[in-house]
């Protein structure tokens, strides 16, 4: 049976590249994801392969790569519903198996074996997960992402790879009205045009925070913020310092699978003064009590309605400076952005997920530097000019 499949330059890049690892950096509507999926389908039809397709969460898998994969197979007339195991998210393609994996489940990553690996939106992946996936892949590794990542991100630092940049101009199947909308950005929004029109690295235009990287900390210590994780998310400790209207943030801990005794050991190795306040998510009362009994001044965060946006608001009252060695915090700050609604408008609601160190910082800032916190312990009264004493 002969099969014809529409391709783009990304497909050709993959065929011609001799590099084991390729990075595909593309602006909006460059067609990179569709082309990469077409490539892995062709490879799976040519010979028996175990092909792994990765995104961070199950909803993002279903919404993007699984949908595109299904559309491609239907378009070339070989989709078979019986070959798709919905619960395992695997598809039997001839003698090959395509498995769709969410990277926010680290246990799944450790049990994988792949001949070909495709990580879509690779910038969402932490470096440890990348390591686990890489060492379990025998053949080609394909990384795709948008050019809105931190200059300090592990993808930007990677050396043993070949990089390809594509834009909307590399997608010949793009409707004319979409082309027009993208090209209008060069007259209306320089930053978005640079990212989405030209595929160049730039700051995230939906980013919540602006910040500066520094080599040294200037300021008075305020408090520690601590966000608790375990298997899926890291536990994160951030120190906060203040100098005038400037906040200095330093990442001290960012690690998964820590139990209480591990956390206490980490705190001791960091030589945290037992008089210094550590503010922790109040949803972990048992852990807070255990750490407190170990001699640390840890306290639960008092959360009111809409506390996330409130804490963000307090942080944005200051110029934020981050110690250059705080790698994970820097990656989070670049990626932390507002959600876009279905009409394409940026909302005031933050996108959760990669925000563990940010949450830690927010706890400390909210509890120590909000107006309410700074007024704690005082009582003000207005006295009229006609009062008698």
Predicted confidence (pLDDT) at residue 282 exceeds the cutoff of 50:
yes
Predicted confidence (pLDDT) at residue 382 exceeds the cutoff of 60:
no
Whether pTM > 0.85 for this model: the answer is: no
Rounded-to-5 percentages of helix, strand, coil across the chain = 35, 25, 40
Q: What percent of the chain has pLDDT over 90?
A: 52
Tens digits of residue pLDDT in 174-209? 888 888 888 888 888 776 787 777 777 666 667 788
Least confident span in 44-48, 114-118, 122-126: 122-126
Per-residue confidence (pLDDT) for residue 389, from 0 to 100: 35
Per-residue confidence (pLDDT) for residue 37, from 0 to 100: 96
Compute CA distances 9 → 22, 30, 53, 59, 295, whole Å.
14, 10, 20, 28, 60
DSSP, residue by residue, 68-92: HHHHHHHHTT---GGGEETTTTEEE
Tens digits of residue pLDDT in 21-34? 999 998 777 889 99
Tens digits of residue pLDDT in 243-254? 999 999 999 999
Tens digits of residue pLDDT in 161-175? 999 989 888 888 888
Per-residue confidence (pLDDT) for residue 49, from 0 to 100: 96
Contacts of 300 (CB under 8 A, 6+ apart): 279, 280, 281, 282, 285, 288
More confident residue, 386 or 359: 359
The mean pLDDT value of the chain amounts to 86
Tens digits of residue pLDDT in 213-241? 898 999 999 999 999 988 778 899 999 99
Per-residue confidence (pLDDT) for residue 31, from 0 to 100: 87
């Amino acid at each position: 049976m002969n099969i014809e499949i529409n391709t783009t330059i990304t497909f050709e890049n993959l065929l011609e590249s001799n590099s084991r690892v390729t990075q595909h950096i593309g602006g909006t509507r460059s067609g990179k994801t569709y082309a990469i999926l077409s490539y892995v389908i062709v490879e799976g039809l040519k010979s028996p392969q175990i092909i792994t397709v990765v995104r961070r969460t199950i909803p993002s898998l279903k919404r993007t790569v699984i949908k595109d994969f299904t559309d491609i197979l239907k378009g070339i007339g070989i989709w078979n519903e019986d070959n798709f195991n919905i619960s395992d998210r695997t598809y039997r393609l001839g003698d090959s198996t395509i498995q769709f994996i969410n990277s926010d489940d680290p246990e799944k990553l450790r049990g994988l074996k792949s001949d070909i690996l495709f990580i879509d939106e690779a910038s969402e992946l932490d470096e440890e997960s990348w390591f686990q996936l890489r060492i379990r892949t025998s053949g080609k590794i394909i990384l795709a992402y948008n050019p809105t990542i931190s200059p300090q991100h592990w993808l930007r630092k990677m050396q043993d790879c070949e990089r390809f940049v594509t834009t909307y101009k590399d997608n010949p199947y793009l409707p004319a009205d979409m082309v027009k909308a993208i090209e209008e950005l060069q007259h209306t929004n320089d930053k978005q045009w640079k990212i989405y029109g030209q595929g160049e690295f730039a700051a995230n235009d939906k980013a919540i925070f602006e910040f500066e990287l520094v080599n040294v900390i200037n300021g008075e210590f305020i408090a520690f913020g601590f966000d608790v994780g375990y298997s899926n998310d890291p536990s994160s400790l951030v120190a906060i310092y203040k100098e005038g209207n400037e906040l200095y943030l330093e990442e001290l801990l960012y690690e998964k699978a820590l139990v209480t005794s591990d956390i206490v050991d980490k705190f001791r190795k960091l030589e945290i003064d037992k008089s210094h306040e550590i503010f922790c998510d109040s949803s972990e009362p048992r852990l807070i009590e255990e750490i407190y009994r170990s001699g640390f001044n840890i306290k639960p965060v008092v959360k009111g309605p809409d506390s996330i946006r409130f804490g963000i608001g307090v942080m944005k009252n200051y110029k934020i400076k981050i110690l250059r060695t705080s790698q994970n915090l820097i990656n989070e700050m670049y990626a932390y952005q507002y959600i876009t609604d279905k009409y394409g408008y940026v909302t005031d609601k933050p996108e959760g997920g990669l925000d563990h160190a940010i949450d830690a910082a927010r706890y400390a800032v909210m509890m120590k530097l909000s107006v309410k916190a700074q007024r704690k312990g005082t009582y003000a009264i207005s006295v009229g000019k006609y009062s008698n004493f």
